[in-house]
Amino acid sequence: MSFVNFTNAGEYNEFRQHELRKRRLVMIDGSLMANDSTHMVGQSARVYQNGYWGFASSSEPAGADKLGNLALSNARAMQVFGGNSRALPTEGYQGEHRIACRPNWSSEQIIDWLKAVNDLALSRYDNLASVKLVAMDEFHDKSVQNSVGARVFNNISRALTYMMLTVKDKDDKPVELMQIISGKGSFGDLDLSMTSVEQQLDELYQHLMAKREAVHAKGGLQTVVLAPDLAGILAHEAMGHPCEADIVLGGAVTGDLRGQRIASELVTMVDFANSYNGEELLMPVYADDEGTPSRDVTLIKNGMLTDFMHSRETSTRFDDQPTGNARAYAPDDEPLIRMRNTAILPGTSQLDDMIADVEDGYYLMKTGNGQADTTTEFMFGVNLGYEIKNGKLGRAIKDTTLSGSAIKMLQSVDAVSSDMSWENSGYCGKKQPMVVSMGGPALRAKAQLGGE
């Protein structure tokens, strides 16, 4: 990929060349259900004119001028609605950023690994009904240039595996749990050694045996200790989405709360652009797909709602500095405001002490998907959890849902552990999917739990 000469059509314009490579392999009980590879290449242009955006893309090499003119004609076509232009920020980043990957695995290596894990699980655990394994990787190469001087090459990549074990309960109904190994780069960057896999599957199977005898959680407001793996999704769903400026403009309650206390003073939450504590994060964004230099955005500082995440356009509307959060998923997608590496920062408590101090509550360990809301009422599924009785872990609980007002929940946080766990599996869903990372420590709070 290289930068090209292009016509400066419209008040502002940008041109993106985008290559996306993905693989997905699925093995169920030794049968290879999917062995797919996808390679998408595309060019797109976006033009801002008189308050409207025009966008055009092609999977053929159409060229910057042709697409730029088509995008401009699209923007002009909307002038019938009346124009109201705002000047966009003029910062443009120049630089190239590539993730230093180790050599990737071939499909043959991945299939051999899937077979080995399948055989290991079947030979090691007596009561398995099924072993489901998924391996996926994806690589995004983007060259972005625009009319305010940005020339950016960004590369983002990740690899991940899902290992799902299923057993039957006493009523012959399926019970399942999943372990995920994911990270930045390629399969070559993950620890997929059989020693590590064996250890993780042993733990998973122990939990699965406990979940086989699980009881329903008590429904209603409960004291919960969220394991570090769950704090990230809380950060992302509960307060991340409501702090995206386009969601704020859509009427989110956060629009009226900037500068106000919305969480315990123990809570600080940041959407990091690319690095934390001097180390590059799992989804490093140095400049976004509008060519804006990326900045960390402190969403909550010691419990106070502070800043929002922006595109060029929303930063103008809010009179804020642009933050570099505009990202596009596929070659034919336009940039939207998306999170990058969103986390609640660690505190000083110890997880064991946080559990020991709970008389009656729940320790929640694994999650499925989640959802945010304009009201900050969030939810996420809980696939693994245990009762806490008098400071000790008790019986496993059946799948449940954690929910509530994020503001009420974050205000109730009374302990934050010193741990920090990051992960980048799964997709964030908005108009487009997006790869993101999330992180956090263990938290203790009160929230609504689904159950009896």
Partner 1 sequence: MQTQAKNILQALLDAGFEDGRVSISVTDVNELNIAHNHVSLMRTTQSQALSLMAIKDQRRVTASVSSLDDAAVQRTIADMQRDVKASPQDAAYAVAPDQQGEFTKGPQAADREAIAACAKSLLDARGKQYPNFVIEECTVKHALQKTFIVTSRNTALMSSLGSYSMMIMGSSKDEHGSSSFTYTGGDLDALPEQPLDVLDIGAMMANSVQETRTEMIPAKFIGDVILTPMAVMDLIGWLTDQLGDVALLSQASVYQKSVGEMIAAPTLTLRNNPQGAGQSPINGEGFIVQPVTVIDAGRLQCQLPSYYGSRKLKLPHTPAGGAWRMDAGDVSRADMQASVERGALVGRLSMGSPAPNGDFSGVIKNSFLLENGQRTKALSETMITGNVAQMLLDIAAISQEVSDFGGYQLPWLKISGLRFS
Among 151, 398, 432, 446, binds partner 1 (CB under 8 A): 398
What does the angle CA 15 – CA 17 – CA 18 come to, to the nearest 5 degrees?
135
In order, the DSSP letters of 255-278 are: GGTTTSB-S-TT--EEEESSEETT
Of 132 and 444, the one with the shorter C-beta distance to partner 1 is 132
Q: How far is the CB of 380 from partner 1 (least distance, A)?
A: 6
Distance CA(342)–CA(285), nearest Å, equals 12
Residues recorded for the chain: 452
Q: How far is the CB of 70 from partner 1 (least distance, A)?
A: 6
Q: Which of 378, 70, 48, 58 is nearest to 240 (CA)?
A: 378
State yes or no: residue 178 binds partner 1 (CB under 8 A): no
DSSP code at position 119: H
Two tokens at 425?
């599996």
Touching partner 1, residues 50-79 (CB under 8 A): 52-60, 62, 70-71, 74-75, 77-78
Stretch that binds partner 1, among 85-93, 141-149, 373-381, 411-419 (CB under 8 A): 373-381
State yes or no: residue 81 binds partner 1 (CB under 8 A): yes
Please answer whether residues 123 and 321 qualify as being in contact, where contact means their C-beta atoms are separated by less than 8 angstroms. no
Of 112 and 353, the one with the shorter C-beta distance to partner 1 is 112
Touching partner 1, residues 139-168 (CB under 8 A): 166
Of 333 and 419, the one with the shorter C-beta distance to partner 1 is 333
CA dihedral 13, 338, 311, 16 (to 10 degrees): -10
Among 191, 219, 356, 427, binds partner 1 (CB under 8 A): 219
Q: Which residues pair with 448 in a beta bridge?
A: 221, 403
Touching partner 1, residues 320-339 (CB under 8 A): 331-332, 334
Q: Which residues pair with 221 in a beta bridge?
A: 448
Q: Kindly tell me the burial class for residue 398, based on how many C-beta atoms sit within 10 Å of its own C-beta (0-12, 13-18, 19 or more).
A: middle
Stretch that binds partner 1, among 40-48, 87-95, 348-356, 417-425 (CB under 8 A): 40-48
Of 152 and 217, the one with the shorter C-beta distance to partner 1 is 217
Q: How far is the CB of 397 from partner 1 (least distance, A)?
A: 11
Two tokens at 407?
């503001």
Q: How far is the CB of 247 from partner 1 (least distance, A)?
A: 7
Among 3, 7, 11, 41, binds partner 1 (CB under 8 A): 41
Q: How far is the CB of 9 from partner 1 (least distance, A)?
A: 14
3-class DSSP assignment, residue 142: strand
Two tokens at 210?
């406990």
Of 4 and 215, the one with the shorter C-beta distance to partner 1 is 215
Among 247, 339, 345, 445, binds partner 1 (CB under 8 A): 247
Residues 6+ apart with CB under 8 A from 277: none
Of 233 and 297, the one with the shorter C-beta distance to partner 1 is 233
Touching partner 1, residues 400-429 (CB under 8 A): 400-401, 403-405
DSSP code at position 287: B
Touching partner 1, residues 85-144 (CB under 8 A): 106-108, 111-112, 115, 129-130, 132
C-alpha pair distances (Å), 333 with each of 43, 156, 256: 10, 16, 31
Touching partner 1, residues 248-307 (CB under 8 A): 249-253
State yes or no: residue 192 binds partner 1 (CB under 8 A): no
Of 286 and 386, the one with the shorter C-beta distance to partner 1 is 386
Distance CA(188)–CA(117), nearest Å, equals 17
